[in-house]
A and B are shown apart, each in its own frame.
Chain A
Amino acid sequence: MKANIAQGFWDEKIECMDRKSMEALQTERLRDLVKRVYATVPFHQRRFAEHGVRPEDIKSLKDLARLPFMTKQDLRDTYPFGLFSRPMDEVVEIHSSSGTTGKPVVVGYTRNDLDLWATVMARTLRCGGVSEKDVVQNAYGYGLFTGGLGVHYGAQKIGASVVPISGGNSKRQIMIMQDFGTDALCCTPSYSLCLAEVAEEMGVDLRSLKLRVGFFGAEPWSESMRAEIEKKLGILALDIYGLTEIIGPGVASECPYRKGLHINEDHFLPEVIDSETGQVLPYGQEGELVITTLTKEAFPVIRFRTRDITVLDPEPCECGRTLVRMKRVTGRTDDMLIIRGVNVFPSQIEDVLVKIEGVAPHYLIVVDRKGTLDDIEIRVEVSEGNLADEVKKFEELERKIKNELESVLGISTKIKLVEPHAIERSMGKAVRVQDRRNLKED
């Protein structure tokens, strides 16, 4: 399949720049950034003062470590426009992430920011070979969520034909894929499997369609889920990375070699830190990703803690890109479940489930506290093709899942088999965890 993907770069000069020139570019942009935010945002003035740093102290990339981190909480505390560094006259678009609790996060874009967004998304889509000849079906939600418009701007920048169908309306999605000859699909990985399911119900074999590549992001997913998507849709499935606080999608993306995601580091300067101590970790060590937006105008962030766990690799990729690569995000420091003292990532559970015959990769993790003990129940859908007609065979299946999970997670779980389609399908981010313990501070 790799051979079918046209190689090519959107910004070859930047994407294949040698490290020294990249660092020089980043340094110049960083120095400009700290001056800009210091001059315009009271929040940053106060924080710089608290840490005894002045903009002119930031001379090299190493000096970045002298600046304080920003967290989602800082963004909430300054709701709605407290961190904007440009007057509203210059802000041409506003997005917001859903606030499940407390205040949502609000971000703004100037015209230049939108152009930057289109550029980094064009690089992303070009990573998967998208050109002006392609039809891009954009099933990310349009609206306040950044996924929809981010992909939209990038695809238009390339000159591809964008179908702004947004999420949901799955039968129509399938119909359009057939009738418009969609080449590239953009949506959450879980929604792509939902589409595969609907196609099957409609008697449509997605593998026989023109569709050849998918750009999936907005939620963590596993390698096994990728294999499942590639098998069911007959496409190359690429992971893309981004977050509202930084710009939306377009922060990093995989190329067909799929050896990590190329970070657009000329605009988004990455660091990996120890999330406990805040210490910057060297390349190759796993930790929390921290990003500084070097060029954004309306809503720049300095050392924003993403809570996403990754590893950075500065080695050039086989595709020719020299942009630093981040490993697929395996979990978030804040969706990590701690069950009876053991760290559990939903992606680990998913990894086990997709390998087991007789169940579908649709699951819900319910965590509860019984007395002082945490209880984890995993609801898994029985696949429609399960041939068993005896209770004991289903009980064997439950035992098998339980045993395999125990060997991976190190804790015992309760497995509850449910009927196909019993777990609610999401059109956007899949809800994988129901934590009833009320352990989280927000």
Chain B
Amino acid sequence: MIVKQISIFLENRRGRLAEVTQLLGDHKINIRAISLADTSDFGIVRLIVNDTEKAYTVLKSAGLTVNKNDVIAVEIPDEPGGLATVLNVLKAAGLNVEYLYGFLEKKTDKAIIIFRFDDMNEAVRVLRESGISTISDQELSNL
């Protein structure tokens, strides 16, 4: 359920994201999902990749402020109301979403949503009890 995400602090300047993604590409690291939160001066890039450890090492040795964070990967049906069903469960439990981003699975009709909650432990418990389908690190890197 808990999977590792890579987050990178980047200055908001032309070409910076291209440089970083190129660096990952050069090291044969595949990006599964990406999200970018930004202000006018800087941004945080969050990534789900096929090899988190390698990506971390590559980015760290390039001198970037990079971290591995715990996030939760939830699998939902790719259909109207799919995300709302999950969010309603979380809402009922009083959980607050810090951020989320999603992507589609290639081989199935499912979508995967990456969540970060203010209370990760509670989120794990609620999701487990509600029977909502989640994805492991292993499954994620095999996608």
Binding site for B on A (CB under 8 A): 201, 382-391, 394-395, 416-422
Contact = CB atoms under 8 A, between A and B. Distances in A.
| 5 A-B pairs with the lowest CB-CB distances in the bound complex, closest first | A389-B7, A391-B37, A389-B69, A382-B65, A421-B63
B9 A382 contact: yes
A390 B44 contact: yes
Interface of B: 5, 7, 9-11, 37-39, 41-44, 46, 60, 63-65, 67, 69, 98-99, 116
Given A395-B39, A420-B65, A421-B63, A386 B9 contact: yes
Contact of A419 (B37, B46, B65): B65
A384 B65 contact: yes
A219 B139 CA distance: 56
Contacts of A420: 63-65
A416 B64 contact: no
B46 A383 contact: no
Contact of A417 (B5, B41, B67, B98): B41
B44 A419 contact: no
A437 to B, nearest CB: 22
Contacts of A391: 37-39, 43-44
11 contacts: A383-B65, A385-B65, A386-B67, A388-B9, A389-B69, A390-B44, A394-B9, A394-B42, A417-B41, A417-B42, A419-B9
A387 B67 contact: yes
Nearest to A419: B11
Contact of B11 (A383, A385, A395, A418): A418
Nearest to B41: A416
Nearest to B37: A391
A422 B16 CA distance: 12
A419 B10 CA distance: 6
A108 to B, nearest CB: 44
A394 B44 contact: yes
B63 A384 contact: yes
Contacts of A384: 60, 63-65
A416 B44 CA distance: 14
A104 B65 CA distance: 41
B49 to A, nearest CB: 15
B97 to A, nearest CB: 12
B47 to A, nearest CB: 11
**Interface-central residue, B39, B41, B67, by most chain A CB under 10 Å:** B41
Contact of A389 (B11, B63, B67): B67
A417 B67 CA distance: 17
A336 to B, nearest CB: 27
A383 B37 CA distance: 19
**Interface-central residue, B11, B38, B63, B65, by most chain A CB under 10 Å:** B65
A384 B56 CA distance: 12
A419 B64 contact: yes
Contacts of B69: 389
Nearest to B46: A389
Contacts of A390: 37, 44, 98-99, 116
Contacts of A422: 11
Given A386-B9, A386-B65, A420-B63, 17 more contacts: A201-B63, A382-B65, A384-B60, A384-B65, A388-B44, A389-B116, A390-B44, A390-B98, A390-B99, A390-B116, A417-B9, A417-B41, A418-B42, A419-B9, A419-B10, A419-B64, A422-B11
Nearest to A395: B39
A146 B98 CA distance: 56
Contacts of A421: 63
B68 to A, nearest CB: 9
A388 B41 CA distance: 16
Contacts of B7: 389
Nearest to A381: B65
A421 B9 CA distance: 13
